[in-house]
Amino acid sequence: MQWNPYDRNCPSRRLLDRIGDRWTVLIVGILAEDGPLRFGELARRVDGISQKMLTQTLRHLERDGLVKRTLYPQVPPRVDYELTAAGHSLRVPLQALEDWAIANMHHVEAARDSYDKAG
């Protein structure tokens, strides 16, 4: 099968939606640098993410094979999240997006100001 993200019915489009999501970008970045991490630590590190959104994003990433969830049978239960090999391979393009956003934010801000003033 040939994957075509420009076809709305192709599963590759849903994958692009997932990996282009801001929470995915931030979670993958943190896990690449400092993983494995527990849920609470991820929640503290990703400023502004709700518990519900963190749970959903981690579940989706686990389902897609990008994150591994490890449950330790202890009291209280301990769960760690870490990137899989596929998740680590995603870090390179996501790091490029992050770097681009940081390097170009001043241009974007100037364009927004100009647009808003004209508007």
Q: What is the pLDDT of residues 33-84, one digit of tens each?
A: 998 999 999 999 999 999 999 999 999 999 999 999 999 999 888 999 999 9
For the CA atoms of 102, 94, 67, 43, the dihedral, rounded to the nearest 10 degrees, stands at: 10
Residue ranges of domains in the chain, CATH in brackets: 11-118 (1.10.10.10)
How many other CB atoms are there within 10 angstroms of residue 35's CB atom? 19
* Residue 4 vs residues 12, 16, 19, 24, 92: alpha-carbon distances, Å: 6, 11, 16, 21, 22
Q: What is the mean pLDDT of residues 89-116?
A: 96
Each residue of 71-94: pLDDT tens digit?
Answer: 999 988 899 999 999 999 999 999
- CA distance linking residue 39 with residue 91, whole number of Å: 20
**Is residue 1 scored above 80 in pLDDT?**
no
At residue 119, does pLDDT exceed 90?
no
Residue 77 confidence (pLDDT): 87
- Convert the pLDDT of each residue in 3-24 to its tens digit: 999 999 999 999 999 999 999 9
Q: What is the rounded CA–CA span in Å between residue 20 and residue 108?
A: 19
